[in-house]
Amino acid sequence: MPELPEVEAARRAIEENCLGKKITKALIADDPKVIDGVSRADFEASLLGKTIVSAHRKGKNLWLRLDSPPFPSFQFGMAGAIYIKGVAVTKYKRSAVKDTDEWPSKYSKLFVELDDGLEFSFTDKRRFARVRLLKDPASVPPISELGPDALLEPMTGDELFESLSKKKIAIKTLLLDQSYISGIGNWVADEVLYQARIHPEQSAASLSKENYGNLHKSIKEVIEYAVQVDADSTQFPCEWLFHFRWGKKPGKVNGRKIDFITVGGRTTAYVPELQKLSGQQAARAGSKQANKRKGHGDGVKDDVNEAASDEEVNGSVQSKKGRKPRGQGNKSSAKRKSKESDDEDNANDSEDDDDDDNDDHHDEDQKNKTRKVTNNKQSKVEKTSKKTVQTSQNSKKKKKAK
């Protein structure tokens, strides 16, 4: 997924190769999901004959200033990319267009030819990007709603301390909030927190002054270095998590194991040995682990006992016939959620390439494991509930016989 370093690499490539050149040909895809708020014909007519004056970026958004408005704006989404024929924009999952490649790509949403023959295209395989035509892109959403750019408008140490001390949410969740700070995505956030030695789930407000200082330094260093090497991960330092982040199995960094958890709805890589929870969160986590070890294997029994207790409190057990097995409502709800999740995953993956799949596979594996555990648990509870009902009915029959 393109983040600030990838989008900045695209901006610099356009700045170095396209400024001062006139657009002689423009082709816009007939895709209203990506081409937002303007017809294909109007978009093409607005570009023809215009000269590219400058290229701008904020967060993960890029826009081109022409010699007169309106201006094309690009929100990269999950798989948006700029290709310039004959130019290696970035080595991150992509390379220069080869003579043997389809050009423009069937995934092209905007294709432009310049007066010197140079051609560039904005592509999007997964159709989560948005391409707009705006009079002043920076003054309207989504760009106007973004927080300060992590590279161009960095917070001072004091500003970061003051803002974080008021936020009682997980630090990674906050870093991913584009209205708080723009440009930081999933892999950058993981890398920043690893370098700062901060647990991704640590509450922002509970960070120590040392944590704040390390975090401020790490944001600056990770962003600047990634931009410096045009987001080419082969040039990242060997201790960076990013080298292992896209592996099919958790790897190691400097001999230490990398674990994966979900924070803010995103798969998160971290090193437990170096990134530890602190304060009350550490105490709660320790207590939770101790309880888990103490009650290991008793989870289903506890649920069954709780179910039986609930039935006793209600005064009677419903007859087996017509009684809705306990947990059935939750099961159908789980099925609905599972179906919605599967539908979303299918939509997301339908046009994806192999390089974008690893993170999605890890998320899906986690979901499948969770579903399996939930279904097994529900099945055991349901069987035990049925036994409870049968026992109660047999007891009533014996009393009547007496």
Would you name the residues annotated as active-site residues? 2-3, 60
User: Measured in whole angstroms, how far is the alpha carbon of residue 338 from the centre of its chain?
Assistant: 19
User: Measured in whole angstroms, how far is the alpha carbon of residue 312 from the centre of its chain?
Assistant: 46
Which DSSP helix (H) or strand (E) runs through 310? helix 299-313
Cα–Cα distance for residue pair 197/219, rounded to 1 Å: 12
The CA angle 185-188-191, to the nearest 5 degrees, is 145
The alpha-carbon radius of gyration of the chain (Å, integer) is 27
Q: Which two tokens stand for residue 267?
A: 């798969």
CB 187 within 8 A of CB 245: yes
Cα–Cα distance for residue pair 111/104, rounded to 1 Å: 7
Closest alpha carbon to 198 in 182, 221, 181, 218 = 218
For the chain, report the end-to-end CA distance as a whole number of angstroms. 73
User: Measured in whole angstroms, how far is the alpha carbon of residue 133 from the centre of its chain?
Assistant: 26
CB 2 within 8 A of CB 81: yes
Q: Which two tokens stand for residue 106?
A: 């069937």
Cα–Cα distance for residue pair 36/156, rounded to 1 Å: 36
Cα–Cα distance for residue pair 186/191, rounded to 1 Å: 9
Buried residues in 338-354 as b, exposed as e (16+ CB within 10 A): beeeeeeeeebeeeeee
Q: Which two tokens stand for residue 41?
A: 């014909």
